[in-house]
């Protein structure tokens, strides 16, 4: 499995854990569904951007 896949899986687990914690604390009940969807899209985009930048190979000059 490539590093980028492991990074995305770890990021997804982190996001799911944060969402479950917010749900259990009752925070998500006070926020509109539209804002939750917008936040999830932003978090997903951020995770993909971080995974791509962390997984790019280094180019060495000879």
Q: In terms of residue numbers, what domain contains 18?
A: 3-53
The answer to whether position 48 is within a domain reads yes
Q: How many domains are contained in the chain?
A: 1
The answer to whether position 59 is within a domain reads no
The answer to whether position 61 is within a domain reads no
pLDDT given for residue 56 in this prediction: 62
pLDDT given for residue 9 in this prediction: 86
The answer to whether position 49 is within a domain reads yes
pLDDT given for residue 24 in this prediction: 93
Ramachandran bin of 32, using left for φ above 0, alpha for ψ from -120 to 50, beta for the remaining angles? beta
On whether the pTM is more than 0.85, the answer is: no
The residue among 55 and 28 whose pLDDT is bigger is: 28
Residue 25 scores a pLDDT above 90: yes
The answer to whether position 29 is within a domain reads yes
DSSP secondary structure letter of residue 4? H
The answer to whether position 28 is within a domain reads yes
| Both structure tokens of 2 | 């490539």
The answer to whether position 58 is within a domain reads no
- Which whole number is the average pLDDT over 47-59? 73
The answer to whether position 17 is within a domain reads yes
């Amino acid at each position: 499995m490539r590093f980028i896949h492991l990074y995305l899986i770890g990021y997804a687990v982190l996001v799911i854990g944060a969402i479950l914690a917010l749900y259990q604390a009752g925070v998500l009940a006070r926020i509109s569904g539209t804002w939750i969807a917008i936040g999830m899209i932003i978090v997903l985009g951020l995770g993909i951007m971080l995974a791509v930048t962390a997984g790019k190979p280094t180019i060495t000059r000879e």
